Structure 1
Amino acid sequence: MLRQIAKNLPPTYINLRTMSCSAGIPRDRLKGKVAIVTASTEGIGYAIAERLANEGASVLVSSRKEKNVTGAIDKLKKQGLIVEGVVCHVGKKEDRQLLFKTAVEKFGGLDILVSNAAVNPGVGPVLECDEATWDKIFDINVKSAYLLAQESLPHLRKRGGGSIVFVSSIAGLQPMPLLGAYSVSKTTLLGLIKAASIDLGPENIRVNCLAPGIVPTNFSSALTSDKTANEAILNTIPLRRFGKAEEMGATVAFLVSDDAGYITGETIVAAGGMPSRL
């Protein structure tokens, strides 16, 4: 009976109904685009790079450690993806310059910048953060993100436009007591994308932000490795689970695609319904 019904359905309907989950990635949505993703050898950054490449983009992966870059590139190339890698400490001007130079030399230009690099060397209430820790957090999380965006502009302008995405955090909208200074640095990015999107909109350069919730990675292990902490956090999340790095990658892929062509100056919160008040 079901086979008989299927025979009478239009082909397009059959294709949609029988499409597998693995075929759900729009493979050519970013075809011809070149992307840089910082801090992209593991965790959310890696998932973003992998998703952009799976959607057809040529992706430049980067990290502070050469062995991490080599390992990530090997894994991605084994999937048949178009990727290259470069060692980059985003706090060093010469490393940032090499990042853009490599994108031009290897792929011919730049269309997408995903600024993901961040640090959190200390925990505690915001006004108990010592000066050295504060400076390091803001140097990497804010200043370097700003400089990367600034330095990407000549390349994006040559392409007639492009997309910049900053990776913030749910802590940027709802500060967490033990992540005081880090939370403030991530809040700063929300203001940066608002201001930059106004300036760059007339040039067809869109600027947006992803604010992930709690995603189990090495970076967030202090929050996700303790059973008691896990239960307390999960009680604040309506979906009652942590996020997946792949879900963050999918969100960024949408933001840099033409499907989000009329979206700029926005922060997309991907936190399972976790409260955000800012």
Structure 2
Amino acid sequence: MDYSSRTVLVSGGAEGIGFAIAKALGTEGMNVVLGDINGQSLQKALTQLEALQINCTGLVMDVAKADDWQRAVALATERYGALHALINNAGVGGKPGPIENNTRADWQWCIDVNLIGVVQGMQAAVPQIKQAGGGFIVNVASMAGMMGVPYGGEYTATKLAVAGLSEAWAVELAPYNIHVAALCPAFVSTNIHLSERNRALTHGQTTTAEEIELPDPDSVMSQVVTNGINPDLVGQRVIEALNAKEHYIFTHPNYRKVVQQRYAAIDAAFERAESSPIVGHLSSEPLDAFVPQ
């Protein structure tokens, strides 16, 4: 990858994975545009990047709002002349719990940020990246994009969607010299378990930040997130994977067996379908035209 003097837009870039990737790419010579919903965290992040001699700017944005994406892309092109890359990172953890406990509002919040935010980021940035002659896009999914996670319905649905869309977009955008990858980390030491703190800033939520009930720091979820890997490792791994043109970027090889078990179960299900007297005859049929060959 050629990074020097090129420009990347990073959503949710003020903290955690987004900031780590922004810092890694900036260190490689890219101009960095940070978007984040929290203005205070955004300013702190820009100050840290500037201290590293990284060319950067930023704006407060809500990824669920298409107009905010247009403002972010406009800022990148006006400040640096072109946009070459997108890190679709902004995301929330949803509200883990039994399916019957999650409200329509809980689902909508997670879908709007984790899925619609990614789609709108692509729609805003891709035309500019095409115009620049190509570049790269990293959509931040999750290890939850590789498997179903019990008690994490909204989060699982959105991350599986992002992983699948990234596969589709990788084929669609390859002719334009745009490399697309899905980043699928397991637990990273970020503030994702505190996502509710920013929910008051979106969706016309009437609850104030002071009224939000945050997770118990001693809870299992809080502990596994806090004890996750350092985000800087993710930033370094993204650079490594982009240089190798990987389409799936994994940060936790210890999860390989879990994913292998899932695909073994899927393959076994196909094997049973092949032996079925009802649909087995379709095994010799050609693939549909839309399936990438």
* Number of equivalent positions: 239
Partner of 2:120: 147
Partner of 1:18: none
Residue 260 (1) aligns with residue 241 (2): no
Displacement after TM superposition at 1:95 (Å): 1.1
Displacement after TM superposition at 1:141 (Å): 0.6
**Counterpart of 2:254 in 1: which secondary structure?**
coil
**Counterpart of 1:141 in 2: which secondary structure?**
helix
Q: Is the 8 A contact 1:126 1:181 kept in 2?
A: no
TM-score normalised to structure 2 length: 0.74
**Counterpart of 2:83 in 1: which secondary structure?**
coil
Displacement after TM superposition at 1:158 (Å): 1.1
Structure 2: distance between partners of 1:173 and 1:129: 22
Q: Find 1:181's aligned residue among 141, 154, 165.
A: 154
Displacement after TM superposition at 1:253 (Å): 2.2
Displacement after TM superposition at 1:207 (Å): 1.1
**Counterpart of 1:273 in 2: which secondary structure?**
helix
Partner amino acid, structure 1, of 2:248: T
Partner of 1:273: 254
Partner of 2:93: 120
Displacement after TM superposition at 1:166 (Å): 0.4
Displacement after TM superposition at 1:101 (Å): 0.4
Displacement after TM superposition at 1:119 (Å): 1.7
Partner of 1:243: 229
**Counterpart of 1:95 in 2: which secondary structure?**
helix
Q: Is the 8 A contact 1:213 1:272 kept in 2?
A: no
Aligned residue runs from structure 1 range 89-168, under 5 A:
89-126=62-99, 128-168=101-141
TM-score normalised to structure 1 length: 0.78
Partner amino acid, structure 2, of 1:183: T
Structure 2: distance between partners of 1:102 and 1:69: 15
Structure 2: distance between partners of 1:137 and 1:122: 9
Partner of 1:51: 24
**Counterpart of 2:95 in 1: which secondary structure?**
coil
Q: Is the 8 A contact 1:243 1:271 kept in 2?
A: no
RMSD, aligned α-carbons = 2.5
**Runs in 1 of length 4+ with deviation above 4 angstroms?**
221-225, 227-231
Using the aligned pairs only, state the percent identity. Answer: 28
Partner of 2:174: 201
Query: Can you list the C-alpha shifts for 1:43-94, whole angstroms capped at 9, x where unaligned?
Result: 1111111111011111101111222211111111011111111111111122
Where do 5+ consecutive residues of structure 2 fail to align? 195-213, 264-293
Structure 2 CA distance for partners of 1:226 and 1:178, relative to 1, 3 Å: farther
Displacement after TM superposition at 1:154 (Å): 1.4
Partner of 1:226: 218
Structure 2 CA distance for partners of 1:105 and 1:224, relative to 1, 3 Å: farther
Partner amino acid, structure 2, of 1:243: I
**Counterpart of 2:92 in 1: which secondary structure?**
coil
Query: Can you list the C-alpha shifts for 1:210-269, whole angstroms capped at 9, x where unaligned?
Result: 0111112111468994376688x69xxxxxx7322011111222344xx234x4xx3222
Partner of 1:30: 3
Partner of 1:237: none
Structure 2: distance between partners of 1:230 and 1:86: 29
Q: Is the 8 A contact 2:94 2:152 kept in 1?
A: no
Partner amino acid, structure 1, of 2:90: A
Structure 2: distance between partners of 1:130 and 1:73: 36
Structure 2: distance between partners of 1:229 and 1:203: 41
